[in-house]
Structure 1
């Protein structure tokens, strides 16, 4: 149960969430750019189309595998020192989503199209949502994180499926507003939570490092062609985005690894 100062912090988060929803609704429909599938680096290699954009998804699989293995090796009686027991499934789901992201994004980049992009975006959404619920649980209220886990995961799944279905079956561009909200809410809320709430387990700096690294990943994505040109057509901004996003996830793995070592 949330009481006292925690109520005020929860109220701030709820208020900012409502504001974000209003902003997204105001700007909706949010339409995917017409040239979204036109990546700078389309070079094939070893018979694989768009090779670099495909192969740079491997770090997601590595971090996902390492995270699942680490969590599986924690003795049950000591787990509470490393993770929030009431929301233990969210930690596994986060790393499982990274594995799925590696597969989905690699499949998508072999031949970019809406179906592949759906398979790419679903695990990305689930990774965001489960990390969000983890931080809520660790910093604000385990019960709140537990209550939000299932409905937010369902919302993230439906947000991407809605976009795909509208893209496939309606005339004209589909609205990305719900998917944008899935990413925007954690990006805005997580820094607020880290600033306002006292950590009950060590590691806040690793969450912050993950957020900052992901911010650079998004910047790289926006400069896809520019980075491709600046590196002498060695690596594109989108491929750099994959590597930086995987590094952001690695900070979460590193946090849990250090907690485990201190048991």
Structure 2
């Protein structure tokens, strides 16, 4: 009876997984179709959007101890710490709860992207201009791509997730090259808008194989707060009597996301045990 119950459980899990994959394929086709139509409409009916010089005019441009834009520079330090530690732990392979090589690959790329954000953002904020901003933008797009891919690997399937990672990385580099050649940020804007929404949608629609999945939603909430802080850069700077600007607060908030996800990887456990583990208990 025990073996029969185990077999039925495994069959039920496999069927649910197949249903998830079919639903994901249908959903992804619709999303791609909708995104394609929106992209075509956007390009047909909107003018080219060059990056405005005002984009680089942040509220806090103080020069302390000889460091230009000091707080906007040093608030990238948390990215460096979390990126280095996360990359080491992901490469080590035994500290995080990760159950497949595909997951390891996506998380390694995520922490590499966070590390790239630390260096790229410092380089950009030392002298903000159109030539340096791509080194701030590209690592963030790589981090978004790998984070979405890790979620798909975890909840949908390894091959689909790795395929998403390759496609999104290609799209990220294409967006950056397009902006550099044509001085048009429309593709980068769409990438940075759609992908976080897609992460939220997949996290909501597909159940996790692990515990502590609420960390995904906490991270999404922090991301929205960070974007609100960026938009309110000057207002927040004035509100706290010119101590710290909204953009610097955005850096701090965004660095909390990989920290929370690292805590999730450490604390979580698999909900469904593997067949070998179940047999050992019989």
In structure 2, the CA distance between the partners of 1:66 and 1:16, relative to structure 1 (3 Å rule), is same
State the TM-score, normalized to the length of structure 1. 0.88
1:106-185 residue pairs with structure 2 within 5 A?
106-166=122-182, 174-185=183-194
Deviations 1:177-219 (CA, angstroms, capped at 9, x unpaired): 2212322232222222122212112232111111111111111
Q: How far off its partner does 1:16 sit?
A: 2.4
Q: Secondary structure at the match of 1:257?
A: helix
- Conservation of the 8 A alpha-carbon contact between 2:172 and 2:191: yes
Higher relative contact order (CA 8 A, sep 6+): 1
For residues 21 and 236 of structure 1, the distance between their equivalents in structure 2, rounded to whole angstroms, comes to 37
Q: Which residue is equivalent to 1:253?
A: 262
State the TM-score, normalized to the length of structure 2. 0.82
Q: Secondary structure at the match of 1:115?
A: coil
Deviations 1:56-112 (CA, angstroms, capped at 9, x unpaired): 01111111011112113324xx97x52432242111111011111111001100110
Q: Which residue is equivalent to 1:171?
A: none
- Conservation of the 8 A alpha-carbon contact between 1:118 and 1:161: no
- 2:25 aligned with 1:16, yes or no? no
Greater displacement, 120-129 / 246-255: 246-255
Q: How far off its partner does 1:162 sit?
A: 2.0
Q: Which residue is equivalent to 1:223?
A: 232
Consecutive unaligned residues in structure 2, runs of 5 or more: 1-13, 272-282
The RMSD of aligned alpha carbons is 2.4
- Conservation of the 8 A alpha-carbon contact between 1:82 and 1:259: no
For residues 180 and 248 of structure 2, the distance between their equivalents in structure 1, rounded to whole angstroms, comes to 24
Q: Which residue is equivalent to 1:104?
A: 120
Q: Secondary structure at the match of 1:235?
A: coil
Q: Tell me how many residue pairs correspond in the alignment.
A: 253
Q: Which residue is equivalent to 1:84?
A: 100
For residues 210 and 20 of structure 2, the distance between their equivalents in structure 1, rounded to whole angstroms, comes to 19
For residues 140 and 5 of structure 1, the distance between their equivalents in structure 2, rounded to whole angstroms, comes to 6
Consecutive unaligned residues in structure 1, runs of 5 or more: 167-173
For residues 185 and 240 of structure 1, the distance between their equivalents in structure 2, rounded to whole angstroms, comes to 23
For residues 106 and 130 of structure 1, the distance between their equivalents in structure 2, rounded to whole angstroms, comes to 22
Q: How far off its partner does 1:223 sit?
A: 0.5
Q: Which residue is equivalent to 2:211?
A: 202
Deviating 4+ runs (over 4 angstroms)? none
- Conservation of the 8 A alpha-carbon contact between 2:72 and 2:125: yes
In structure 2, the CA distance between the partners of 1:209 and 1:83, relative to structure 1 (3 Å rule), is farther
- Conservation of the 8 A alpha-carbon contact between 1:21 and 1:181: no
